[in-house]
Amino acid sequence: MDLSEFSDTFFEEADELLVEIESHLLDIDPDDPDPEQLNAIFRAAHSIKGGAGTFGFTVLQETTHVLENLLDDARKGNLSLNSRIVDQFLEAKDMLKDQLDAYRNGTAPDQEAFEALCQALQRIAEENRAGADAAPAPAAAEPPAQESAAGAGFELFDGASADADDGTPRLQVRLREVGEADRTLIIEELGNLGEILDSGGDEACFDIQLATEESPDNLEAVLCFVIDAEQLEITPLGGGEDEATAAQEASAPAEPEPEPEPEPAPAEPEAAAEVAGSESSEPAGEAGESPAESAAPEQPAAQDTPVAEEPKPAAPPQAAAPKEAAKAPAKPAAAPKAGKAGAPETSSIRVAVDKVDQVINLVGELIITQSMLNETVNGLEGVVNSDLLNGINLLQRNARDLQDAVMSIRMLPMDYVFSRFPRLVRDLAGKLGKEINLVTEGESTELDKGLTERIIDPLTHLVRNSLDHGLESPEARARAGKPREGKLVLSAQHQGGNILIEVRDDGAGLNREKILEKARANGIPMSDNPSDDEVWQLIFAPGFSTAEQVSDLSGRGVGMDVVKRNIQSMGGHVEIMSKQGQGTTTRIVLPLTLAILDGMLIKVAGEIYILPVSSIIESLQLRSEHLSSLPGNVQMLKVRGEYYPVISVYDAMGLRGLASETDEGGRGTAVMVQAGNIKYVMLVDELLGQQQVVVKNLEANYRRIPGVSAATILGDGNVALILDMPDLYRLGQEARVRRGGPSDAARAPSASTEEAEQA
């Protein structure tokens, strides 16, 4: 069987398993590790190892095997965990990621780094094993045979060990139509997961009896890297002295037995307790059976016809068994195959992103076609063509529903982004000697997949800035009367058609005077009395940094300007709010998707432009008495007692030469828009109406145009530019300066006291 076609699936699943490993390692308490977490880490590592062996990724398999052995020792109590070992495990996870990427790209993994990691893991394991040996621990009483099995990894057992009865759950693994090579690999894997008691059969039907703590669904997850689920049948057999009889009956056709075998009933007290403990950690023999019934000696009914129970999580070491036993009675009736019983009603499939993108592009073309049809029927008589118009309206509704459904496929929860930061915060906090509590909010908030991938780098830089510059050392916080542990919050929420992502800390806040001093030293132009918002925006200037020393974290003045450019390239903007001594909040505002947006069509100088509806506050019918002219060509518009700066699209887009006395802004229509934390009024010639448009990347196909974020194709086939609200405001201010006016429109009464406080 050619396995290369399945390698992409393995890479995706291995990536998810590595994320799971890191998550559990970051959450685990080294002083009192949770057995469930250790089991979960072990299972994830073993699944990766099984898949790596299947595809011939030898170095990845060996690395995972080393990690797996240490995790197994930790599960059994033979290895005492501490923060140093957890750090080493995290480094091993990083190496697994590097090796996985190397195999994905068709290159050879770094053998020297692998050997160095193995030596480090072996050294630290021996140190902590020595400590465990010095102090008597319950795990030391385990039989030597089991310890050697865990250490050997691929050591196999034959039927000679079948008489061992330690209460371990027994399973029968039946393989159908499986060749010799795959059987050998499966036996190898099962031998590493437990103790093989017996095996036999041929290619048509081959049975393996296994004593293992692993659950049927975990076994199936590993074995399905080798064979298909249809070729596999796993049957729980239970434990006890009648194991051989049960195994034989499981392998033979079921025969009715009128009377159960009574021999197990008068068991010794110790043996009875052992049987009960064994059965409490596996699925109940019958639907609705209670824990007491499961431990009772009368079991033949469950042995007449082998039935695969519903899969459950792998049974943790001794202490967690009662918890699993309590859950068993609530499980539904058994099904004929392990891993299939009780399957959730909903399911998912893996689809390549380019296929989803192709569907989205086709939906975009459908919307353009629908716009063209609207353009065509606009001039038709409504009464005569009512059926046609109704059909067009229905098409429009269906196209919007289709677009919403397709766009939801590309949506990912923000947890996809936030889950990357616990490790970063942990490592940097340790490096900086700071105590940080990372809190995430709104993890379920969804964002387009393309944006989630592009927002990671800007967020990483903002988090590093908060850790390095914002949050103080424990000693400094204590002197300031704050808790020694700093708080860093990552949050996400929807607001209209946008998503708001915030990075908040309760650190020292931005130092206004220090920023101004550095800006003047760098020759950055600014007004005489800049507002706080203007001062905070200075940190986005290229080359700007207030760090006194250059380090590997900061000080080179490279980063914040890149952050701003990257966010603007996604159609968003970034805002900063800070109070000295209380902390800083950096807010990123992004559109939910880059593919399709609701736009307002406007006409300026005979050309059609598009404003994002999410940026529009309201449209106004302009009256000359509401306009106020201030010295320096500054125009303000009074709206319900408040003054707002006025930007002419003619000035901002360099269209003044096309304007006439009658169509230049100042007569007719105004649109109040929000650009970040700035509200301003835009003068336009005419509002044409709202329309859903397909966003086309202008910069990739042509070049970047100031004041323009993208383009679209209208229903009549013409191209319209989508305006960038923050950049348009900047261009309007620069145009005013060129005409001889000050750039500081905020010095005029442009905002209420409440708005100033919010800014």
Cα separation of 479 and 531, whole Å? 30
Check residue 347 and give its pLDDT: 65
539 Cβ neighbours under 8 A, 6+ residues apart: 510, 515, 546, 560, 576
- Higher-confidence position of 529 and 273: 529
Nearest of 83, 118, 71 to residue 99 by alpha carbon: 118
% of the chain beyond a pLDDT of 70? 72
- Higher-confidence position of 558 and 655: 655
Positions of E strands within 296-430: 411-413
> Which range among 230-244, 397-411, 740-754 has the greatest average pLDDT?
397-411
Check residue 144 and give its pLDDT: 36
Cα separation of 728 and 404, whole Å? 29
Cα separation of 434 and 603, whole Å? 55
Q: Beta partners for 634?
A: 630
% of the chain beyond a pLDDT of 90? 14
What is the DSSP code (8-state) at residue 488?
A: E
From its phi and psi, is residue 698 left (phi > 0), alpha (psi between -120 and 50) or beta? Answer: alpha
Of 167-176, 331-340, 619-628, give the lowest mean pLDDT range. 331-340
Residues in the chain: 759
Check residue 632 and give its pLDDT: 66
Check residue 657 and give its pLDDT: 58
Stretch 300-329: mean pLDDT: 39
Going by pLDDT thresholds of 50, 70 and 90, the confidence category of residue 402 is confident
Check residue 484 and give its pLDDT: 93
Check residue 3 and give its pLDDT: 53
Cα separation of 533 and 565, whole Å? 18
Over 50: is that where the pLDDT of 304 sits?
no
What's the mean per-residue pLDDT of the chain? 74
Q: Phi then psi for 711, rounded to 5 degrees? A: -140, 170
Of 28-42, 365-379, 621-635, give the lowest mean pLDDT range. 621-635
Cα separation of 325 and 313, whole Å? 12
3-state secondary structure of 674: strand
Q: Which amino acid is residue 338, in one-letter code? A: A
Of 274-288, 506-520, 570-584, give the lowest mean pLDDT range. 274-288
Q: Phi then psi for 305, rounded to 5 degrees? A: -130, 115
Check residue 665 and give its pLDDT: 43
Cα separation of 353 and 351, whole Å? 6
For 687-706, the pLDDT digits (tens) are 888 888 888 777 767 777 88
Both tokens of 229, joined, read 């689920």
Cα separation of 556 and 552, whole Å? 9
Over 60: is that where the pLDDT of 104 sits?
yes
The pTM assigned to this predicted structure is 0.58
What is the DSSP code (8-state) at residue 470?
A: I
Q: Phi then psi for 369, rounded to 5 degrees? A: -60, -40
Contact between 750 and 729 (Cβ < 8 Å): no
Both tokens of 1, joined, read 């069987």
For 628-640, the pLDDT digits (tens) are 877 767 788 888 8
